Structure formats: structure tokens, C-alpha cells
């Protein structure tokens, strides 16, 4: 019987995620491609593509005919955790579905802090009726977005509709409608001086690792309507020092934080973050990678490459994202 798997072969390498649903989706989107898992696909010279989330270090450098690596996340720090990567293109997720999910998360958390959600929930738990009715207008607050990429720009557009003032910070100069844009080290000071709520949508790279630390919190404005600023990190846990976040909350440098990502995931049961009254936690759930929306575009890119077309959403190895 003829082999129906006539096109480039795929190794699916996932850590911490169930494979079945991804295999099902690959089967639907690419019935003409064989899909292999470890250990069968290890060092297999017939593998053309790797589709990965936190692949095992060393796995990819043993695939002699690998043509491209596809990340199942928008972030690619999980791929670069392997220091022996082969020199093939790396494609990351840029997807309307993922972008929409992240913007929902950002809008949800910004509004929750703006409309005093944590305070009202605590009062409800204590059966306290709070007569204080002061509400700041959205237009009186500036939301500063660290990372004006695919996710940061969409979140900014949606927050703008709600009437917030916006500022943003990126590595290279940007122009984004309705956003006061700042870039690089020289732009960081003015950016931090502008923002009442800081939303972090940066990638984790050697340049950004640990950037959310005590020194940066000290540079944030405390003159806005909220007093001390609110921090929302949905980028990566490696961007933050959790010890510094806790001390900044205790010292009043920050008024509240929302964290979706952590230095170590899952967050250790003994972390003080779990029970701190000024901390809102979500379990790396801001924008899930959903097989039914991500796999078909990945397979289309494989098809395009085989027709001699260029890949889209390539990672810049030098920049690290």
C-alpha cells in the first residue's frame, strides 16, 4: 500500500502539555504528513519539522535534516533554553486567537484594578459595606505597556477604546496610534514616569531577564491618582524578581500586582505571593495556545516552505525573540 505521508515529517515535542489533542489537530490539518513523538523521533533523519513547547535540550540538534522549528507559544525562551539549537529558522505563534485572549486578560486586569475589584472582594468576604464612592475616570489614568509587539499593540488598541491614556516601551522606536511611545534605555525613565498601571508583555531575553526589580519599581511614578502604581506581568516570570515585588508591595512602591507568570512554574506552595492581599495570581493562563487555532496556520507554513515561499513570524536569533 502506498504511503499517504508524502510530505515533510513532523516531530512533536512537548513538556508539560498533553500530546493527544495536538496530534489529533495535526492529523486533521496535515493528513499527508507523518507525526512522530519521542522517543521514536529522536535522531530521526527523516524528520523535517519540529513543533515544540519546552523541548528537551539536545533533542533538536540530533535531527540532521531538520528544516524549521515551530514554537507552540508566542514566546520562544522555552526554545532558547536549549543551548545546542541547530541553525534552522524558528517560527513563533502570531495568531488572532492568542492575541485576542491576551487582550481580554489585559483589559480584565486593568479594569479590575481601576474599578477596585480586589478591595470590593475583600470587603465582601468581610461583609463590609463601603460607602466611599470615589472612582477615578479611565481618562485620568495612564496604562503603560512594556512591549509594543503583536500583543502589546492590540492590548493598547482595546484599552484606548475604554478611554485610558496610553504609553508604551519597546526596544526600537515605534509609532502607535494613541500611544506615547518610548524606546530603549533612554526611553525607560520617561515611560516609568508616565504610567499608573504598568502592563508587561515583553519577551524573556538576556536583555529583559530580571528587569522587573526593585530599582525599576523605585523609578515608577507615585504621583498619579492611584498613588503607587499597579504592575501586571503577563510576559514571562523570568522578567521579575518575586522577592523584589513582595518588598515593593510591603514598602508601598507598588500598590498592587497581577501576575500570570512566575520565576518557577508551577509557583511553589510556600510562596508568599499566594496569600498576599495585594497580589492577584493566575496560573500562566492569560492567553492559552489552542490547538484548533494554531495548528492549521503552522501546517500552511510548512506547505508554503515546500513551495519555495518564505516563512512568516520568524524569530530574530540575535535579539532572542
Residue 234: contacted member of ligand OXD, ligand NDP, none (CB under 5 to 8 Å, by partner type): ligand NDP
Q: Which of 201, 120, 187 is nearest to 153 (CA)?
A: 201
Query: Counting contacts by CB under 6 A, is residue 149 touching ligand OXD?
Result: no
Q: How far apart are CA 229 and CA 258, in angstroms?
A: 12
Nearer to ligand NDP, 30 or 90 (CB): 90
Query: Counting contacts by CB under 6 A, is residue 230 touching ligand OXD?
Result: no
Q: How far apart are CA 155 and CA 199, in angstroms?
A: 9
Q: Which of 284, 307, 313, 317 is catalytic?
A: 284
Query: Counting contacts by CB under 6 A, is residue 237 touching ligand OXD?
Result: no
Q: How far apart are CA 265 and CA 245, in angstroms?
A: 17
CA 245-249-255 angle, to 5 degrees, is 115
Among 73, 168, 224, 297, binds ligand OXD (CB under 6 A): 73
Nearer to ligand OXD, 74 or 197 (CB): 74
Query: Using omega within 30 degrees of 0 as the cis cutoff, is the peptide bond preceding 266 cis?
Result: yes
Residue with cell string 484594578: 113
Is residue 276 part of the annotated active site? The answer reads no
Site for ligand OXD in 88-117 (CB under 6 A): 93
Site for ligand OXD in 151-180 (CB under 6 A): none
Among 142, 194, 233, 289, binds ligand OXD (CB under 6 A): 289
Q: Which of 113, 114, 236, 313 is catalytic?
A: 236
Q: How far apart are CA 221 and CA 191, in angstroms?
A: 9
Query: Counting contacts by CB under 6 A, is residue 75 touching ligand OXD?
Result: yes
Q: How far apart are CA 231 and CA 151, in angstroms?
A: 17
Q: How far is the CB of 268 from ligand NDP (least distance, A)?
A: 19
Q: Which of 88, 116, 12 is nearest to 56 (CA)?
A: 12
Q: Which residues of 44-79 are buried (b: 16+ CB within 10 A; e: fewer)?
A: beebbbbbbbbbeeebbeebeebbbbbbbbbbbbbb
Is residue 113 part of the annotated active site? The answer reads no
Q: How far is the CB of 287 from ligand OXD (least distance, A)?
A: 6
Rule CB under 6 A: which residues touch ligand NDP? 73-75, 98, 102, 147-152, 169-172, 174, 201-205, 207-208, 234-236, 260-261, 284, 286-287, 321
Q: How far is the CB of 189 from ligand NDP (least distance, A)?
A: 13
Number of other CB atoms surrounding residue 219 within 10 Å: 13
Which residues lie near ligand OXD (CB under 6 A)? 73-75, 93, 287, 289
Catalytic residues: 236, 284
Amino acid at each position: 500500500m502506498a504511503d499517504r505521508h508524502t510530505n515533510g515529517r513532523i516531530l512533536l515535542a512537548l513538556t508539560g502539555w498533553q500530546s493527544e489533542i495536538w496530534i489529533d489537530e495535526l492529523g486533521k490539518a496535515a493528513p499527508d504528513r507523518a507525526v512522530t513523538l519521542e522517543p521514536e523521533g529522536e535522531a530521526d533523519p527523516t524528520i523535517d519539522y519540529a513543533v515544540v513547547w519546552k523541548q528537551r535540550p539536545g533533542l533538536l540538534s540530533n535531527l540532521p535534516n531538520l528544516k524549521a522549528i515551530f514554537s507552540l507559544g508566542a514566546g520562544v525562551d522555552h526554545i532558547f533554553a536549549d543551548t545546542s539549537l541547530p541553525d534552522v529558522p524558528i517560527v513563533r505563534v502570531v495568531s488572532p486567537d492568542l492575541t485576542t485572549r491576551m487582550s481580554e486578560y489585559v483589559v480584565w486586569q486593568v479594569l479590575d484594578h481601576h474599578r477596585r475589584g480586589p478591595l470590593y472582594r475583600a470587603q465582601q468576604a468581610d461583609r463590609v459595606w463601603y460607602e466611599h464612592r470615589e472612582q477615578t475616570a479611565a481618562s485620568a489614568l495612564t496604562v503603560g505597556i512594556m512591549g509594543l509587539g503583536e500583543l502589546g499593540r492590540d492590548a493598547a488598541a482595546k484599552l484606548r477604546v475604554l478611554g485610558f491614556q496610553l504609553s508604551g516601551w519597546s526596544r526600537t522606536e515605534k509609532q502607535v496610534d494613541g500611544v506615547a511611545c518610548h524606546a530603549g534605555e533612554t526611553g525607560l525613565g520617561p515611560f516609568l514616569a508616565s504610567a499608573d498601571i504598568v502592563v508587561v508583555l515583553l519577551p524573556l531575553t538576556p536583555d529583559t531577564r530580571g528587569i522587573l526589580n526593585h530599582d525599576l519599581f523605585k523609578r515608577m511614578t507615585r504621583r498619579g491618582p492611584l498613588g503607587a502604581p499597579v504592575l501586571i506581568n503577563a510576559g514571562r516570570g523570568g522578567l521579575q524578581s518575586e522577592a523584589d515585588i513582595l518588598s515593593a508591595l510591603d514598602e508601598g512602591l507598588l500598590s498592587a500586582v497581577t501576575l500570570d507568570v512566575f520565576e518557577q512554574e508551577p509557583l511553589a506552595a510556600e510562596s508568599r505571593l499566594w496569600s498576599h492581599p495585594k497580589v492577584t495570581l493566575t496560573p500562566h493562563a492569560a492567553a492559552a495556545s489552542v490547538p484548533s487555532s494554531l495548528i492549521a496556520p503552522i501546517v500552511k507554513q510548512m506547505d508554503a516552505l515546500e513551495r519555495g515561499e518564505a516563512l512568516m513570524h520568524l524569530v530574530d536569533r540575535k535579539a532572542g525573540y
